[in-house]
């Protein structure tokens, strides 16, 4: 199984309404992309300084399923619409 983790900070001035749209966008992908086994996302709880603002974790059956998610039209549309909102971003895929 592959776990995909993405963390990012918002660009300064990103409106709260757009942040809500990002949450909805992840929920949409979770419900419409068949390769997603499980997906969680949310805002940092501000328990420590220096954290990223937002994180998403998704699980896929294998590397091929993750790759299919990455090139899925719904994911590509999400990245096109919201990708420019992040100031810093970190991604990693681990085997679990």
Q: What is the spatial distance between Cα 45 and Cα 51, in angstroms, rounded to a whole number?
A: 9
Q: Show Cβ contacts of residue 67 under 8 Å, excluding neighbours closer than 6 positions.
A: none
pLDDT, tens digit, for every residue of 16-66? 999 999 999 999 999 999 999 999 999 999 999 999 999 999 999 999 999
pTM for this entry: 0.92
pLDDT category at 1 given cuts 50, 70, 90 is very high
Q: What is the pLDDT of residue 90?
A: 97
Angle at 77 between CA 76 and CA 81, to 5 degrees: 120
How far CA 79 is from CA of 1, 29, 49, 58, in Å, comes to 23, 11, 27, 15
Q: What is the pLDDT of residue 95?
A: 98
Q: How many CA atoms lie within 13 A of 5 on its CB side?
A: 9
Give the single-character DSSP code of 11. Answer: P
Structural domains for the chain: 1-9+17-56+84-96 (3.30.70.100)
Mean pLDDT of 68-86: 97
Q: What is the pLDDT of residue 8?
A: 97
């Amino acid at each position: 199984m592959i776990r995909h983790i993405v963390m990012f900070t918002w660009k300064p001035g990103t409106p709260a309404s757009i942040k809500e749209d990002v949450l909805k966008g992840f929920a949409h992908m979770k419900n419409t992309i068949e390769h997603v086994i499980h997906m969680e996302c949310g805002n940092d709880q501000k328990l420590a300084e220096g954290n990223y603002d937002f994180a998403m974790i998704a699980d896929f059956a294998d590397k091929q399923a993750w790759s299919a998610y990455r090139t899925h039209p719904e994911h590509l549309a999400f990245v096109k619409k919201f990708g420019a909102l992040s100031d810093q971003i970190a991604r990693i895929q681990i085997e679990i």
